[in-house]
């Protein structure tokens, strides 16, 4: 299976947002354990998550680190829009800009996953 997991929830939105991000990372871990092809992408306000998840005290830090090899990166345009460009880079994640969109530094192409037949889930 090819599975694209897109995290858009905003860590500023409390427990519900944490539940979404945790569920996304847990699904990525399960898919990894089944040898599925997995890509995790942070988009929208979700580009704020890496800075939170890399804190050792964060409850999902261990899970984040477990799936780190399948985290593709964060959308550049979304990172810029949500003030997360520097924190994404500080976390060592690449910016994704394979969808050129005027007025932005480029976005992560979610359509690409659909066109290539990936099961695509947005959290």
pLDDT, tens digit, for every residue of 19-76?
A: 999 999 999 999 999 999 999 999 999 999 999 999 999 999 999 999 999 999 999 9
Work out the pLDDT band at 101, boundaries 50, 70, 90: very high
pTM above 0.85?
Answer: yes
SS3 94: coil
| Structural domain boundaries in the chain | 2-122
Provide the mean pLDDT of the chain: 97
pLDDT of residue 81: 96
User: Which phi and psi angles does 2 have, rounded to 5°?
Assistant: -110, 120
H helices, E strands: number in the chain:
6, 5
β-strand partners of 99: 107
Cβ partners under 8 Å of residue 93, min gap 6: 42, 50, 71, 73, 74
- What architecture does CATH give domain 2-122? 3-Layer(aba) Sandwich (3.40)
């Amino acid at each position: 299976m090819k599975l694209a997991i897109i995290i858009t929830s905003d860590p500023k939105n409390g427990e519900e947002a944490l539940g979404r991000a945790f569920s996304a990372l847990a699904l990525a871990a399960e898919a990894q354990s089944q040898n599925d092809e997995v890509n995790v992408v942070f988009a929208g306000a979700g580009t704020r998550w890496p800075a939170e998840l890399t804190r050792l005290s964060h409850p999902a830090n261990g899970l984040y680190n477990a799936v780190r090899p399948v985290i593709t990166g964060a959308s550049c345009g979304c990172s810029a829009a949500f003030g997360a460009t520097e924190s994404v880079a500080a976390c060592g994640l690449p910016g994704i800009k394979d969808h050129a969109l005027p007025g932005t530094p480029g976005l992560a192409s979610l359509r690409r996953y659909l066109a290539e037949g990936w099961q695509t889930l947005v959290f």
